[in-house]
Amino acid sequence: MAEPVVTANGAHPGPEGDATRRDFIHIAAGAAAAGAGVMVAWPLINQMNPAADTLALSTIEFDTSKVQEGQQVVITWQGKPVFVRNRTAAEVAKAKADDTASLKEPQTDAERTKPGHEPMLVVIGSCTHLGCIPTFGTGDYGGWFCPCHGSHYDVSGRIRKGPAPANLVVPTYEFTSGSTIKIG
Residue 149 is among the residues annotated as catalytic for this protein = yes
| Residue 11 backbone phi and psi in degrees, to 5 | -90, 150
CA–CA gap between residue 171 and residue 57 (Å, rounded): 14
Q: How many CA atoms lie within 13 A of 22 on its CB side?
A: 6
CA–CA gap between residue 75 and residue 63 (Å, rounded): 11
Selecting among 26, 117, 129, 149, the annotated active-site residue is 149
| Residue 149 backbone phi and psi in degrees, to 5 | -130, 5
**Among all residues, which ones are annotated catalytic?**
149
